[in-house]
Structure 1
Amino acid sequence: MSGAAQAADHARAFAPASVGNVGVGFDILGHVIEGVGDTVGVRRIEAPEVRIAAIRGATVDLPLQAPANTAGAALIAMREALGLPFGFEVEIDKGIPLGSGMGGSAASCVAALVAANALLQTPLSRQALYPFALTGEAVASGGRHGDNVGPMLLGGLVLSTDERLVRVPVPAAWYSVLVHPDAILETRRAREALQGHYALGEFVAQSTHLALLLAGCHAGDAELVRAGLRDVLVEPRRAPLIIGFAAAKQAALQAGAMGASISGAGPSVFGWFETRAQAEAAAPAIQAAFADAGFDSQAWVSPVDSPGAKLL
């Protein structure tokens, strides 16, 4: 958090984008991406309610009704749980593209909570904010999934269960590249692609890969990560929804990625690299693959172990 003093009745916070799932950790694993995110201002008001006063920067209309808005729903949950006698007025500045697989709905929710938390007489820990963030995220995704809000709250790579957040150590030298093609893939549509039969062997393989990835992060062992960052469960079912994905992934791997896959529900693609230089060299190659498929794109290069949400 910033050390700057906050006005008694108003605070602003920034929450970064995220890579949800990290390939093999569907709905439970994620990490933040620096350099892009949402900013939310929260003002304390006398009326015991939550109001969304403005949403700026969105390319489509987002709900101004608080219960239907991720930030609004999270603050409603906070008010009710803490029995607060006052309310909040919220202004949201979107910096994350919608339907991008970069945690846009989660970022607004987390930034709102961090800002509102600064207005409490006794602020809560980031872990204590987690249940409220899950409530907000459920408005957008239809379920209480922590793979985006978890890393935004704590920073870095985070394992998110129903009740707790566990930060996973990652070498400071490791970098992530996130490339967003100029396309929208709705989360609910991406989830529909996952319906159907799954073989037990697929679950065993995916569990093995997740274990290898986590072990590799703890040990700082890139070869374990290379063995583990291979999604055999979700990626094969979602990849057909993303034009240019196969070529983009191949470009990342040819550039030396330890692994590459779909970020969140897509269509964004991420890759992990052992050095910043590798990551910076890979970004234009991945973008070129999407360009060949007919899409402009944006790219971000970020340490995997980047900071989470902060007060401004």
Structure 2
Amino acid sequence: MNKVTIQSPATVANLVCGFDILGMALDQPYDIMEVRKLDKPGVIITSLDGFPLPADPAKNTAGAPLIEMLAELDQPIGFEVIINKQIKPGSGIGSSAASAAGAVVAANHLLGNPFSKEDMVRFALFGEKVASGVKHADNIAPCIYGGITLIRSIFPLDIVSIPAPRLYVTVVHPQIEVRTSDARQILRKQVLLKDAIRQWGNIAGLVAGFVKNDYDLIGRSLEDVIIEPVRSMLIPGFDEVKAKCKEAGALGGGISGSGPSIFMLSKDLATAQQVETTMKAIYTRIGLDHHTYVTTINQQGVKIIEHAIL
């Protein structure tokens, strides 16, 4: 077997209050990637979608993790990666993580799965560093593990899978770009202790709400007093979208990753669809192009859909 095709899912990072430590995988949208094992060293990147992705593997979010993996293997092999990207770069739903995680899961499969999920996260973090200058796993971990994940620590890496009730996720992606590196630059460098205490309470409450299947607790805990007040200024219509979606029945939600996408959680499909209608109405009135998704939590993560011998 020397060729594999995978689906790599979009992800929502932070889950409002859990900056850099909480994330969840989505069933829609996802990237399609084909990875081929080569009998010579090196990494080749090909893009099929028209997005201006770097061809230099060291500067590509899929290529950089494979370079690290090959260095650890120390074998005379390489990989070719062909990317059909459906998760738009700069959308805030884990485009760079999908490329990084998809590449390492596919390569690991071709190698006979010598690396653990934690190892693959460790390699994929180099893709996030290319994208934002910082190694953060809140998109990478759910993309590889599936479901909802808590990153207790990056150094050393400590990832905890969190069970959750069945939830519907509605996402709106206003067609503007917010670069993760730029969104990090505007954050405050110091936080008031009272804000930190409130945030810690919300993170603990959200995790407890997931574990206990307590929808009311989940809704009460979807509050961010540190990051969202700053980043929301980059997203037109954010405050109105959040308020009107909660009026439509959503449990709550907020900025997906660094934005500009906004996500909302709902208990049932009918509510999630009404939330989508609300989002569309607001951005249509504003006059801003947008895409929406109504989906659920992806429990598997990166999925192998085809493998073959060339």
TM class, shorter-length: over 0.9
Aligned to 1:167: 161
Aligned to 1:4: none
Aligned to 1:5: none
- 2: distance between equivalents of 1:137 and 1:23? 20
- 1: distance between equivalents of 2:26 and 2:172? 11
Q: Does 1:109 align with 2:100?
A: yes
Contact in 1 for aligned 2:27/2:298 (Cα 8 Å): no
Aligned to 1:214: 207
Deviation at 1:195, TM superposition (A): 3.2
Counting only pairs closer than 5 Å after superposition, residues 1-312 of structure 1 correspond to structure 2 as 8-52=1-45, 54-59=46-51, 61-160=52-151, 161-162=153-154, 163-172=157-166, 174-304=167-297, 306-312=299-305
Which 10-residue stretch deviates more, 265-274 or 115-124? 115-124
The number of aligned residues is: 302
Alignment identity in percent?
39
Deviation at 1:36, TM superposition (A): 0.9
With the length of structure 1 as denominator, give the TM-score of the two structures.
0.93
Contact in 2 for aligned 1:37/1:96 (Cα 8 Å): yes
Deviation at 1:305, TM superposition (A): 5.0
Which 10-residue stretch deviates more, 217-226 or 79-88? 79-88
Query: RMSD in angstroms over aligned alpha carbons?
Result: 1.3
Superposed CA offset, 1:8-38 (max 9, x none): 1111111110111110110111111112111
Against the structure 1 CA distance between its residues 229 and 122, is the aligned structure 2 distance closer, same or farther, given a 3 Å change threshold? closer
Gaps of 5+ in 1: 1-7
Which 10-residue stretch deviates more, 196-205 or 94-103? 196-205
Contact in 2 for aligned 1:15/1:39 (Cα 8 Å): yes
Contact in 2 for aligned 1:170/1:305 (Cα 8 Å): no
SS of structure 2 residue aligned to 1:115: helix
Which 10-residue stretch deviates more, 124-133 or 12-21? 124-133
With the length of structure 2 as denominator, give the TM-score of the two structures.
0.94
SS of structure 2 residue aligned to 1:266: coil
Deviation at 1:84, TM superposition (A): 2.8
Give the letter aligned to residue 280 of structure 1: Q
- 1: distance between equivalents of 2:285 and 2:200? 34
Deviation at 1:144, TM superposition (A): 0.9
Gaps of 5+ in 2: 306-310
- 2: distance between equivalents of 1:195 and 1:223? 30
